[in-house]
Amino acid sequence: MSKIISGFSKLTKEEKIDWLAKTYFDNQPEIIQTLKQYWNVDASLQQLHDDFIENTITNFYMPYGIAPNFVINGRDYVIPMVVEESSVVAAASLVAKYWSTRGGFKTEVISTTKIGQVHFMYAGNKKELETYFNQQKTELYAATASITKNMEKRGGGILDIQLVDKTDKLANYYQLHVTFETKDSMGANFINSCLEAMAKQFQKDDIEIVMSILSNYVPKCLVRAEVSCKVEELGGENPEKFAQKFEQAVKIAEIEPYRAVTHNKGIMNGIDAVVLATGNDFRAIEAGAHAYASKDGQYKSLTHCEVKDGIFRFWIEIPLALGTVGGLTALHPMAKLSLDMMGCPSARTLMQIMATAGLAQNFAALRALTTKGIQHGHMKMHLQNILNQHNATAEEKEAISKYFENRTVSHSAVVEKINSLRKPKVNWIDFLNKEELSEKLTKLNADSKPLFGKMNGQQMIEHLGFLLRISNGRIDTGIFVSDEKSARRKPFLDTDGEIQAGFKAPMLSEEPYPAKYSSIEESINDLFTQIDTFETYFKENPNNSITHPFFGELDYEYWKKFHVKHFTHHFKQFGLV
């Protein structure tokens, strides 16, 4: 059956979902439920989100976190971040606090010029084209007057229009290269509207307009952020060594593209998170940043470091074309909240905040890499994701987080710990609680059949009594257990492990010993007597140790641990626990 559909966009949201479930999910009801559970309960708010793009069927949530303690140019900020990677917000927050006591972040906007181009083909005489351009230049400004009027009132507009010859790269290819100032608007629609008006004005028979479009490469829309302090103020055991390794790590990223890509990706972890939180275009920011990293002909680090005259300096220069008015920033309630959180910044101020977030993220990554390694902190943060994947309870999360405080986190280690916590709890038998023993033993008959092994009910009771006699010093088995064997076997008594079905001590015969007493009642009475004797013996001889035929020398505490395991093992043998 063909899965091609016509008129899909005209279907209602419900109809789109029904078609998707029927065509690609065999009409599974849980698919529809999953999609609908992410709808906002506020119908008008959901409609707002539906209208952002085409063919909307649901929302896709991303975590929205905040990183406090940023001090930028002497002002305190909390920075909103939308990101799925678990260590980003924590790392930014940690670095923000670190530098808040070392002078904070210093930032400045170097320039805010943006670029748009009209691309066209012209096969005629270049001098004639230049003459035509000079004649038309004033008309090009005039053609955009109605578009630029409001922008000019805010201090923006078209800064310059240039004719650029690119025929050495592509035959007959020229540009109108236009620079803009868009103030607090990102300006994409404004720029594109101006370019299209210019193209219409400039076009003539021998000029073929190919396209008119803004550029996301904005090397003149540039911001700088920096931190610095005396080397000894960096802290740690050896700040001089740390500063040296940190500088080396940055310089490696300045010359090695393979490292630079990952290095810059870490920077964008911080920047993209703030771009998303403010409703800006993270794809445009990414493209422009990576193009800028290649501006010298080789892909390089966007950050730089210098250790000179006892001063550590670390900075970033990055192009960021942002907006704080218009577009999604004006529509999305969370984007508006983000801007309010940061004090309703201008586009220039937002550039500085985002550059700071990127620098902080890079500092965190490089500090981890050059000290204890990136995985230590990353996997600690990733721990919560693993726990959530396995539906860990609050109690399990607390226990496992504590367990991994001083251990290396890995997915397999976490899963192993979760499974160990979820193992059925052993109902250990308190052999010193005779009331509990009596209650359980009422279910046992002399000839009761075991779930495993060969003993009957009475033989099992007398077997427990026999081991108690050994621990009481009443029976000397004459078996020697070497220190080596004891050291290997005895630690088992300290664990939660059970004596496994089928285990048989070497001293025991293949067949069960015949019952010593005439009834199971007598056997139980003797068992209780041996328990009392065990307590009395060690009360009178608290420092004594008695040899166990398998585990070796055991004192009172270890004999108790053995009897708990031994009683539990045999009570399970007859289904009493």
What are the residue numbers of the active site?
A: 85, 265, 281, 378
User: Rounded to whole angstroms, what are the CA distances from 388 to 273, 379, 394, 414, 421?
Assistant: 22, 14, 10, 11, 15
* Residue ranges with strand state E in 182-301: 207-214, 221-230
Amino acid letter, 292: Y
> Quick check: 299 and 257 in contact, CB under 8 A?
yes
Query: Residue 285's closest CA among 151, 179, 188?
Result: 188
Structure tokens that stand for 257 in this block: 């593209």
- Reported as half-sphere exposure (CB side, CA atoms, 13 A), residue 319 has a value of 25
What is each CA distance from 451 to 354, 447, 499, 577, in whole angstroms? 68, 13, 15, 12
> Distance between CA 19 and CA 16 in Å, rounded?
5
Give the integer Cα–Cα distance in Å for 546 and 389.
49
* Long-range pairs of 494-497 with CB within 8 A, sequence gap ≥ 24: 494/561, 496/426
Tokens for 281, please give them: 């275009």
Query: Which tokens is 77 given?
Result: 């900020």
Q: End-to-end distance of the chain based on CA atoms, in angstroms?
A: 58
Q: Which helix (H) or strand (E) holds 148?
A: helix 145-153
Contact 56, 13 (CB under 8 A): yes
Q: Vertex 273, ends 270 and 278: CA angle to 5°?
A: 130
Q: Which residues contact 540 (CB under 8 A, 6 or more apart)?
A: none
Distance, CA of 472 to CA of 541 (rounded, Å): 10
Own/partner long-range contacts of 9-14 (Cβ < 8 Å, ≥24 apart): 9/54, 9/55, 13/50, 13/56, 13/57
CB 234 within 8 A of CB 312: yes
Provide long-range contacts, Cβ within 8 A and 24+ apart, for 400-403: none
In whole angstroms, what is the distance from residue 547 CA to residue 567 CA?
A: 19
Amino acid found at 207: I
CA distance 549 to 24: 66
Closest to 336 measured CA to CA, from 349, 348, 355, 323: 323
Determine contact, residues 544/486, Cβ cutoff 8 Å. Answer: no
Using the structure block, give the residue that is written with the tokens 């496992």.
400
φ and ψ of 163, to 5 deg: -95, 125
Helix (H) or strand (E) holding 27: none
Q: How far apart are CA 300 and CA 267, in angstroms?
A: 13
